[in-house]
């Protein structure tokens, strides 16, 4: 799978797992299955904790599985800390450790009131020709790729443009309504709201890359949101990401507090 696709589905997994349960001293564990077509390619487990001071932390582990494990071993660890403010999760620090084979890279982003104040990538990525630089304006009023997909219950889910920054790429995810679907998993059974997703690259990427062009032209990306009643929020339970190698799906196999 191309680098862009890996980054997007890793961020999506993390977002799926950051679902608070709606009480003080919350602890919420979620497990996910990632597949390419019918083939399993990754598994994940995340824990979300929220304390009495309305501070939250999301931590998790992602690893390749099945066919993907035979080709290249992939592992990722992520951690996000922030505060609950105006019924939204507002990140203060986002961290991602990513290993593919022998290659390791870490991303750390610091936020203040929704704006990016610093980004650290190790080792630094060499900027190739046709690189689209991230401009100062792209760093204001930005969402992290984990907390950015959790919404209060009164939100118009599929009528939004989400400004996401993952430590390298600045992208917009433009949501549009596509109805509802039945969804059932451990801890949830009911209707999920289906949003179509248009991927719009803004900066932090090489112009002309085939994987980016493919995803930005595709009209088949979807996110399904289900309501976590205890928290009175909506969060994703299913993501569908088209790639040049086939459809990647991320499915919640557990959606409840411990």
Domain count, the chain: 1
Helix/strand/coil (H/E/C) assignment for every residue in the chain: CCHHHHHHHHHHHHHHCCCCCCCCCEEEEEEEEEEECCEEEEEEEEEEEECCCCEEEEEEEEEECCHHHHHCCEEEEEEEEEEEECCEEEEEEEEEEEEECCEEEEEEEEEECCEEEEEEEECCCCCCCCEECCCHHHHCCCECCCHHHCEECCCCCCCCEEEEECCCCEEEEEEEEEEEEEEEEECEEEEEEEEEEEEEEEECEECCCHHHHHHHHCCCEEEEEEEECCCCEEEEEEEEEEECCEEEEEEECECEEC
CATH label of the domain that carries residue 174: 2.40.360
What is the reported pLDDT for 20? 46
What is the reported pLDDT for 172? 95
- What is the distance between the alpha carbons of residues 55 and 77, in angstroms, rounded to a whole number? 20
User: What's the pTM value of the predicted model, to 2 decimals?
Assistant: 0.84
What is the reported pLDDT for 26? 62
| Range of the structural domain that residue 76 is part of | 3-257
What is the reported pLDDT for 17? 47
CA 26 from chain center: how many Å?
21
Distances (CA, A) of 201 to 65, 146, 156, 213: 29, 18, 23, 9
The per-residue pLDDT string of the chain (258 residues; one tens digit each, 9 = 90 and over) reads 445 545 555 555 555 544 444 444 566 677 888 888 878 778 887 777 777 777 888 887 888 776 555 556 788 888 999 987 766 778 999 999 988 888 899 999 999 988 999 999 999 888 888 999 999 999 999 988 887 887 877 888 999 999 999 899 999 999 999 999 999 999 889 999 999 999 999 999 999 888 889 999 988 899 999 887 766 678 888 999 988 888 889 898 888 766
């Amino acid at each position: 799978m191309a680098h862009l696709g890996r980054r997007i589905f890793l961020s999506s997994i993390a977002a799926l797992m950051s679902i608070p349960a709606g009480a003080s001293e919350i602890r919420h564990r979620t497990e996910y299955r990632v597949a390419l077509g019918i083939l399993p390619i990754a598994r994940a487990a995340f824990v979300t904790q929220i304390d009495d001071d309305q501070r939250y932390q999301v931590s998790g582990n992602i690893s390749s599985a099945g066919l993907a494990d035979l080709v290249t071993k992939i592992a990722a660890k992520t951690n996000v800390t922030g505060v609950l403010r105006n019924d939204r999760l507002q990140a203060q620090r986002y961290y991602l450790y990513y290993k593919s084979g022998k290659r390791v890279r870490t991303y750390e982003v610091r936020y203040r009131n929704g704006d990016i104040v610093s980004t650290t990538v190790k080792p630094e990525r060499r900027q190739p020709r046709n690189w689209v630089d991230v401009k100062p304006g792209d760093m204001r009023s930005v969402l992290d790729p984990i907390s950015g997909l959790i919404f209060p219950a009164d939100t118009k889910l599929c009528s939004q443009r989400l400004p996401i920054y993952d430590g390298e790429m600045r992208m917009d995810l433009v949501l549009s309504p596509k109805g509802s679907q039945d969804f059932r998993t451990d801890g949830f059974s009911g209707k999920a709201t289906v949003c179509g997703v248009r991927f719009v690259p803004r900066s932090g990427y090489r112009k002309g890359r085939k994987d980016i062009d493919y995803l930005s032209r595709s009209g088949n990306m979807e996110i399904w949101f289900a309501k976590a009643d205890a928290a009175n929020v909506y969060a994703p339970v299913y993501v569908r990401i088209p790639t040049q190698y086939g459809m990647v799906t991320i499915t919640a196999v557990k959606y409840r507090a411990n």
